[in-house]
Amino acid sequence: MKEIIIEKENPQRGNLWIDNKVFSVNVTGEEEVTVKSNLGDNILEMSKLVSRLFSPETNFIIKMKEVFGVTINMIYLDFQKVTVCASKENHEWHDIYTKYNVYVDGHRFSNSTAVRIDEDSKMEFFEPAGKENWEKKSESENLKLPIFNFARRWAKVMQHYMEEDNRFRKVAEYSLLLSNLENFSGKEVYEAVCLLESCWKYGFNLRKYWESGYEDY
């Protein structure tokens, strides 16, 4: 990683230089700082950047202490008027990326049961490589972001209702009705099924159900 440079403008504000780009930084508390994205930045790359700022390979924490006299434990990412938080304990880039997308969905589809479940739960991956597969595919240009948002939402809604009902067919179909907020066609839904098969704890069951012609097995 190239050296991080922080320029102080006043006691609360400065500029962060990293990877030949400059970002505004604002000290918002004794242990908090906000990093603001620029026009043209994308949420995937900004999530990775914020995650890297916590990494041992970066001197961001040390530089902030030297320049502003604060010990940073939380970094807020301000991206297109949406703010998401990363902490010293939880700063994986994919968690930051997911928080942003869940928030946007919540604003877009307010009062949705599926979105509320998405906000309040975690997706269950199969071991050992499910989460890694999900993260790799989220970086791929072959699948569009709305497919990922839909697949994640559908998986979480199924998890929620499987706690009450062990009939996979019923849960999958009911969860699909709740989760398909974008009104995707069969092609897009099938893409989500294939995506979930590669990483989700119950993805194999979902693929088997989908290809069985919606029959119980």
Strand order in the sheet with 82-87: 5-8, 13-18, 21-29, 32-36, 74-79, 82-87
pTM of the model: 0.79
For 154, the token pair is 């559908």
Confidence of residue 215 (pLDDT cuts 50, 70, 90): very low
**pLDDT 10s digits, 73-83:** 999 999 988 99
| Domain ranges across the chain | 5-90, 109-211
Per-residue pLDDT at 46: 94
Q: Six-digit token pair at 114? A: 């599926």
d(CA 181, CA 188): 12
Percent of the chain topping pLDDT 90 = 68
Tokens of 160: 């929620």
The overall longest dimension of the chain from CA atoms, in Å, is 65
- pLDDT tens figures, 152-175: 999 999 999 998 888 898 999 999
